[in-house]
Amino acid sequence: MTIIQGTDLIKKFETFAPLSLAESGDPVGLHIGTLNKPIKRVMVTLDVRPEVVEEAIKAKVDLLFAHHPPIFRAAKNLITDNPQNKMYADLLKHDIAVYAAHTNLDVATNGLNDWLGQAIGLEKTEIMHVTKTESYKKLAVFVPQENEVEVREALTKAGAGKLGPNYENCSYTLDGIGRFTPINQAEPAIGTVNQAEELAEAKIEVVFPQRLTESVERALFESHPYEEPAYDLYTIENFVDSYGLGRIGNLAEPISVTTFTEKLKNIFKIEGLRVITTNPNQLIQRVAVCGGSAETYYSSAQKKGADVYITGDVSYHIAHDMLANNLTVIDPGHHIEEICKSGLEKLFKQWSTENNWDIEISQSQLNTDPFRFM
């Protein structure tokens, strides 16, 4: 098995949920410690609280991977009489790195909001509110046929060849004849200086998100046998990836608001929730969901035809606006984002199996919801 460095694990994660997808000002990324070390044990958590840190210390973890950033606002001092500051000191003392993936995980394809939609049972989901789009590039490279597989595999390992959320390792190969004459100070891998050369070559074509241009080109140069690889790079105008907050889709069949709320309590294992509606008996089927505090996006849910919108931390005055706009809204609390723990654990274990990593992944077993229904 392969011992993995923290930097390599996070590099893999940031291909899945790039930091560039995060909302402006969101402090995502490494918060405490270093990733320049071997990572043997990872614990995933929603929140980084003193009790979670104590749990991580007992479990001897190397990396605490959180959804909510532990340092959302800068500390004014580092006096350890303050429980929050002591928590930071304990993490450093025990060499536990802390990494946070917040709104980038929210909007990532197959990320947190998709996990919420799946838990609720939504079908044919789409993005509720698009926040970013990303264009694609196409690489066409000419390589000796005997080196085709090696180069193609290097390109796909660098992230090329993915089409949407459901296809990977996509490429096209066309065989032909390549011709060249090395001159001057050339040191050709094939052929002799000042002599014309002709050989069977393959043209490989792959597409990739624009942000991966540098890594894909690096993979090309490192895997290609030629001193000067011949390749073309295009910007594709007819294909983009969209990312955004929330998901909207349909339930398998209509259900009343009252029955649906009971179902949500069971799904998210909560004692109670808040409902904003003029008709508890209304039949609903098209549902929008957005984890966290996303009350201000209710109009996006409504524009997409939602019968009901699920999000946390709805305030009093905006609740009145929701009623005035005749939209049913369910607030099951911010803590339903705890679903990130099972989602991240499954994701990391999948990567570990695929790459034969020597790593242990666990979930925090603590409930960090500060609210109780009495």
Contact 343/280 with Cβ under 8 angstroms?
A: no
**Position 194 pLDDT exceeds 90:** no
What's the pLDDT score for residue 185?
81
Domains of the chain, by residue range, sit at 4-102+338-363, 107-131+244-335, 133-241
Instruction: Give residue 156's region: left, alpha or beta (phi > 0; psi -120 to 50).
Output: alpha
What's the pLDDT score for residue 319?
98
Amino acid of residue 132: K
pLDDT digits (tens, 9 = 90+) for 212-224: 999 999 999 999 9
Contact 116/247 with Cβ under 8 angstroms?
A: yes
Contact 164/242 with Cβ under 8 angstroms?
A: no
Spell out the residues 6+ positions from residue 339 whose beta carbon is closer than 8 angstroms to its own: 112, 115, 116, 119, 268, 291
**Position 373 pLDDT exceeds 80:** yes
Q: Show the beta-strand stretches assigned E in 87-171.
A: 97-100, 123-144
Q: Within 10 Å of residue 247's Cβ, how many Cβ atoms?
A: 26
Whole-prediction pTM: 0.89
Same-fold call for 4-102+338-363 versus 133-241: no
Would you state the structure tokens that stand for residue 205, as one six-digit string? Answer: 């074509």
pLDDT digits (tens, 9 = 90+) for 97-126: 999 999 999 999 999 999 999 999 999 999
In this structure, whether the domain defined by 4-102+338-363 belongs to CATH 3.40.1390.30 is answered with yes
Summary mean pLDDT of the chain: 94
Nearest CA-CA partner of 245 in 166, 302, 300, 325: 300
What's the pLDDT score for residue 215?
92
Residue 127 and residue 267: Cα distance in Å, rounded? Answer: 22
CA dist list (Å): 193 to 21, 186, 226, 230, 339? 49, 7, 14, 18, 62
State the residue for tokens 């007819």.
238
The residues that bridge with 64 in the sheet, in sequence order, are 43, 98
Nearest CA-CA partner of 70 in 52, 95, 43: 52
* Confidence bin at 178 (pLDDT 50/70/90): confident
In this structure, whether the domain defined by 133-241 belongs to CATH 3.30.70.120 is answered with yes
CA dist list (Å): 206 to 139, 196, 232, 273? 5, 29, 11, 48
Would you state the structure tokens that stand for residue 289, as one six-digit string? Answer: 């969901």
Residue 78 and residue 273: Cα distance in Å, rounded? Answer: 37
**Residue range 107-131+244-335, CATH number:** 3.40.1390.30
The residues that bridge with 233 in the sheet, in sequence order, are 139
* Confidence bin at 193 (pLDDT 50/70/90): confident
Nearest CA-CA partner of 18 in 101, 99, 97: 101
Nearest CA-CA partner of 338 in 308, 316, 370, 300: 370
Would you state the structure tokens that stand for residue 363, as one six-digit string? Answer: 């979930």
